[in-house]
Amino acid sequence: MSISTGPSRPGGKPQAGSERDPFRSIIGASPRMRRVFRLVSRVARTDSAVLLTGESGTGKELVARAIHLQSRRSGAPFVPVNLGALPDTLIESELFGVAKGAFSGASADRAGLIEAADGGTLFLDEIGDMPLATQVKLLRTLESNEVRRLGETAARVVDVRVIAATHRDLQRMAAEGRFREDLYYRLNVVHIDLPPLRDRREDIGLLASYFLDRAARRDGRTLRFSSAAEALLERHDYPGNVRELENAVEHAVAVAESDTILPGDLPAAIRSPRLLTGTAATAAPAAAAAASAASERDGWSLAEIEREHIQRVLERHRGNATAAAKQLGISRTTLWRKLRQYGLRRPSA
């Protein structure tokens, strides 16, 4: 696995570790992620509303921050709101603010999060959890650029860009009357869908190495994955996506007794293949074959293990030496030398 600090800005040089690097924590070299980076760079230059969709843990807030950091609003606030974590009774007052005396306990005027984002970006995470009554008020704010605190009659002008995110199917919810159709179209000006990690497996090594390097620097250690641990990380389906992979690496770093992450240091979910209901019968032979292959490798020399791993990485990247060398954490020159040493040929694309 190569150690990566993230892709570069489109058209610029990498700015690894920079707080102003919009892609600082978004790792990916797969075609689908490269497309996401291109979309982010293009849409950031506009003030259009953006709808981010994808499973939980795919990095929707990171992408929203990247859009903000590349926009003309980057010097103004980025205000994230997780609507799924707020009780329905508090969402409206949190977003729109409260006037003194609006209800029992409102002892002072309080600005809402929309006003807090004035001039900047408001990130509405889990927008599908917003109550219908609040959706009406949000739509009015988006159309008029005005916000009215609870208990007030006067409206306040705001300049806010809205980025919304959800793991739900908002179009289907709108068809079923559970989400306002007019608000859906108002938010869905630009749609960016973030792929699950299982659909961009070529990024697993980059992400795992990034998380390991970050943990190592934090703890003042030098850490690496064993080949067996790397293989386990790469085969997992990650229902929790990037967040699950990050937690798995953090777990391994916390329990590892040496500077090499071993299979036993990984969480049990990573070590054991997931057998889904209804597929156990067909998965069992494959699991048995994998166990048999692993048992056979126990007698291999280190050179034999390295040869097989290099061949597997080359096949994954369809013979692309640059991508393979990057994942392996070696230079292209070293890769060419090892290909000659082991008599390997690059597979054709």
Q: Which one of 177, 194, 211 terminates a domain?
A: 194
Say yes or no: 187 and 204 in one domain: no
Q: How many domains does the chain have?
A: 2
Confidence band for 4, pLDDT divided at 50, 70 and 90: very low
Q: What mean pLDDT value characterizes the chain?
A: 84
Indicate the residue among 152, 174, 194 that finishes a domain: 194
In a domain, 11, yes or no: no
61 and 89 together in one domain: yes
What pLDDT, on a 0 to 100 scale, did the predictor assign at position 104?
A: 65
Do 141 and 240 share a domain, yes or no? no
Task: State which residues form the domain around 170.
Answer: 31-194
Find the CATH number of the domain harbouring 158: 3.40.50.300
Q: Is 292's pLDDT higher than 70?
A: no
Residue 156 lies in a domain: yes
Reported as a pLDDT band with limits 50, 70 and 90, residue 311 is: confident
Residue 176 pLDDT > 70, yes or no?
A: yes
Two structure tokens written together for 36:
């996401």
Stretch 83-98: mean pLDDT, rounded? 91
User: Based on the domain organization, do 188 and 223 belong to the same domain?
Assistant: no
Global pTM reads: 0.71
The answer to the question of residue 12 being in a domain is no
pLDDT class of 255 with cuts at 50, 70, 90: very high
Tell which of 171, 194, 217 closes a domain: 194
Q: Say yes or no: 173 and 53 in one domain.
A: yes
| Lowest mean per-residue pLDDT among 18-27, 170-179, 289-298 | 289-298
